[in-house]
Amino acid sequence: MASMLQFFPILYLPFIFIYCTAFKSNLKPYIVYLGSSSNGNGGEDLSHLQLLSSLIPSEESDRISLLQSYSHAFKGFSAILTENEASRLSGYDKVVSVFPDPVLKLHTTRSWEFLEAVDDKFRSIHPSNEHKSSDIIIGVIDTGIWPESPSFSDEGIGKIPSKWKGVCMEGSNFKKSNCNRKLIGARFYNKNRKGSPRDNIGHGTHVASTAAGAPVDNASYYGLALGIARGGLPSARIASYQACLTDGCSGSVILKAIDDAIKDGVDIISISIGISSIMQSDFLNDPIAIGAFHAEQRGIMVVCSAGNDGPDPYSVVNTAPWIFTVSASTIDRNFQTTVVLGNNQSYEGTAINFSPLTHGKAYPLAFGEKVAASFTPAFDARNCIPGSIDPKKAAGKIIVCVNEDPNVSNRIKKLVVEDAKAKGLIIIDTEGQLLPFDSGTYPSAVIGESTGSRILSYINSTKKPTATILPTKVVPRFKPAPVVAPFSSRGPGGLTENILKPDIMAPGVAILAAIVPKIIPGYSPPGNKTSLFSIRSGTSMACPHVTGVVAFIKSKHPHWSSSITKSALMTTASVSNNLGKPLTNSSDYYANPHEAGVGEISPIRALDPGLVFETTVQDYLYFLCYFGYKPKILRSITNTNFSCPKISAEKFISNINYPTISIASLKKNEDIRKIKRVVTNVGSSNATYTSNVEAPPGLKVLVFPNRLNFSAGLKRAAFKIFFDGKEASKGYNYGAIKWFDGLHVVRVVFAVNVE
């Protein structure tokens, strides 16, 4: 599955001119991070250049130039350096970290690989008449924006908030007038002639419209998923920062975009981008983690996607505790594609296709291995591997393929059978049914294994098997939903297992949102105008759902800090599906917190969470102490006299006041482990909460005190949780502590690795 999800070819050196110099020696772009900005006024370029000239030999003075310079929320720059220069620089006193400028990837899947559904949950939050303006500004760091989309109309929206200090940059095919009271800002960083804030890929447009798109009536993907498309908070403003082009997203540019967004005055930053999970090395070598830290310092929440490298464990990225990390789920709509066999038996599959075939006419049906090219192994032909199908045998037929080779995506199978002049494609792939495969006008259906074996035995049972594939219909209220998307990256986090990641799950499969209207041959039904909306899947699509919900919560609770908002969402998330059963993964097993985080986001409940866990910048600094950073480094990233606690060990990370609890290692023979938390009451002042523990058999969990009475004017209360793993089974044990006051359930999820 993972290989199918790679869409954007990644070039490791994003700027052409770097190629030229790179051949000279081991020169490459580095990010040099210098910690907190002293005044926040900008204008550090001179001192950055001085630093460079102290390092670079004068005969190479052409290299004394800054690719990017950061000076608003934090200090630093990117420049072309040798490895030796980079390593010398990292020894300088004021330097926090120096690391090669990484190329990050968008957390989306191929646009046409999947199909849509509108998210009823978010629609139901907003009565359709609620479209007044809000002063909440969402910064979207992505591929830019297609400003003409109806999702960015500013009709009915009031004047631009006075706190906004950003710009609408002009560029190729992008004028100041492309911004409006909805799309209030747009920046780009590509300095060549074609540079422009304009989105030519579609990802940024999709993500921005999911977070804050204006309501658009009758939105659909060529008639499918027809309804009102709208963002999480349709009245919020959008500022677009283009950090990704077709060759990926340069880390130094993402960092610049975050610095700009903070300076411009955004309230929330949405980043559906991440470093590859195998390349994560450190929190302070990760441009998103660095930028997000400084955003959080200024009260700006950063919401990020968890990545699409699931279902392997340790694949989650963007795992710093100050980031809100989002995994992806399915929603309750199915894109049903019916296969009718010659015996009139019909079967429901999934796909998105605008098949021209009808019920009236059937076509010969054949299993891939029965139309194999000569000297081709049966395995290759039944998997429809390129070169394995004989056009002489397959032409005019509907071909059945299986999915035993993860390297051959549905899209490749489609190209293979289409190339062999086959009439259509049926793919047997139980898990693939969850991710509607978009085959455009080519007839296709993905069916489960039990249906598949029935179709294969039908083929066996008759001399002239035939079938037809009908165009897709959307089936609402599909059950079960939500289900963890198979591609969604899984915890535990590779950098530390003492913070539970991902945090929360949101819809990320088959999401309908605005797109760059482009004609893709073979994908739009003949006679239709190019669609303004499209269906995409990925944690990229889940992230802006959370961003939109955070904006919604902020609009109702303007004084809540980002950690209060995050806690409110995390302790109230939904843990059951629409069958009333516990959430599952795509193999129909209980979805554990390393797959689903605390569960599916539940915006309305989060408005009234009762108790919240406030995580302060000091907590995050303690986290970095426990993780192993020297106090000197932490003083530079905060510009304060900060000192680490006297005793420091990685296991103390579990004591950071986070809304979940994770213990990387609880030895069976160790004493009871004590974890501390402090809750803040944001509900009625006379509340009394009692605790209740859900733990797997063998793991002893005790909460003390088990009653919290806030009547005496108390705002905060501390409690301890004792974990005893002596009789627990080895490996991760998952459970939750629930505080209940008769009105609110405050659910604190834990994951404890017993060794």
Which x/- pattern, by CB under 6 A, does the window 479-508 give for ligand NAG? -------x----------------------
Among 48, 72, 107, 203, which one carries the catalytic annotation?
Answer: 203
Pick the closest to residue 321 from 570, 553, 501 (CA basis).
Answer: 501
- By CB under 6 A, the residues from 289 to 348 that bind ligand NAG are 311, 343-344
Residue 150 CB partners (closer than 8 Å, separation 6+): 214, 216, 514, 532
Q: Rule CB under 6 A: is residue 585 a binding residue for ligand NAG?
A: yes
Q: How far is the CB of 464 from ligand NAG (least distance, A)?
A: 12
Q: Is 203 a catalytic residue?
A: yes
Q: How far is the CB of 158 from ligand NAG (least distance, A)?
A: 24
Q: Is 220 a catalytic residue?
A: no
Q: Rule CB under 6 A: is residue 456 a binding residue for ligand NAG?
A: yes
Pick the closest to residue 352 from 218, 588, 536, 485 (CA basis).
Answer: 536
Q: Rule CB under 6 A: is residue 525 a binding residue for ligand NAG?
A: yes
Residue in this structure with the two tokens 């898990």, named with its chain if needed: 431
Q: Please report the beta strands in 390-486, taking only residues with DSSP state E, as ranges in sequence order.
A: 398-402, 424-428, 438-440, 444-447, 466-469, 473-475
Q: Which of 217, 419, 727, 755 binds ligand NAG (CB under 6 A)?
A: 217
Q: Rule CB under 6 A: is residue 643 a binding residue for ligand NAG?
A: no
| CA separation for the pair 142, 248 (Å, rounded) | 10
Distances (CA, A) of 740 to 88, 560, 572, 704, 706: 56, 22, 12, 15, 10
Q: How far is the CB of 216 from ligand NAG (least distance, A)?
A: 10
Which x/- pattern, by CB under 6 A, does the window 388-407 give for ligand NAG? -----------------x-x
* Closer of 383 and 562 to ligand NAG (Cβ): 383
Q: How far is the CB of 117 from ligand NAG (least distance, A)?
A: 16
Q: Which of 50, 457, 462, 618 binds ligand NAG (CB under 6 A)?
A: 457
Q: Is 489 a catalytic residue?
A: no
Q: Rule CB under 6 A: is residue 589 a binding residue for ligand NAG?
A: yes
Contact 35, 73 (CB under 8 A): no
DSSP structure string for 264-329: HT-SEEEE-EE--GGG---GGG-HHHHHHHHHHHTT-EEEEE--S-TTSTT------TTEEEEEEE
Q: Rule CB under 6 A: is residue 223 a binding residue for ligand NAG?
A: yes
Q: Rule CB under 6 A: is residue 38 a binding residue for ligand NAG?
A: no
Q: Please report the beta strands in 189-255, taking only residues with DSSP state E, as ranges in sequence order.
A: 216-221, 224-229, 237-242, 244-245, 248-250
Q: How far is the CB of 483 from ligand NAG (least distance, A)?
A: 10
Contact 480, 584 (CB under 8 A): yes
Pick the closest to residue 539 from 593, 595, 493, 581 (CA basis).
Answer: 595
Both tokens assigned to 415: 């190209």
Q: Rule CB under 6 A: is residue 640 a binding residue for ligand NAG?
A: yes
Q: Rule CB under 6 A: is residue 128 a binding residue for ligand NAG?
A: no
Q: Rule CB under 6 A: is residue 192 a binding residue for ligand NAG?
A: no
Q: Rule CB under 6 A: is residue 412 a binding residue for ligand NAG?
A: no
Residue 46 CB partners (closer than 8 Å, separation 6+): none
Q: How far is the CB of 707 from ligand NAG (least distance, A)?
A: 7
Q: What is the total count of residues that contact ligand NAG (CB under 6 A)?
A: 31
* Closer of 109 and 585 to ligand NAG (Cβ): 585
Q: Rule CB under 6 A: is residue 517 a binding residue for ligand NAG?
A: no
The sheet carrying 745-754 orders its strands as: 661-666, 745-754, 731-740, 688-694, 707-709
Torsion of CA 572, 329, 6, 112, to 10 degrees: -130
At 702 the three-state DSSP class reads: strand
Q: Which of 527, 580, 697, 713 binds ligand NAG (CB under 6 A)?
A: 527
> Which positions lie near ligand NAG, rule CB under 6 A?
217-218, 220, 222-223, 311, 343-344, 405, 407, 453, 456-457, 460, 486, 525, 527-529, 585-587, 589, 640-641, 684, 686, 688, 709, 711-712
Catalytic sites, residue numbers: 142, 203, 540
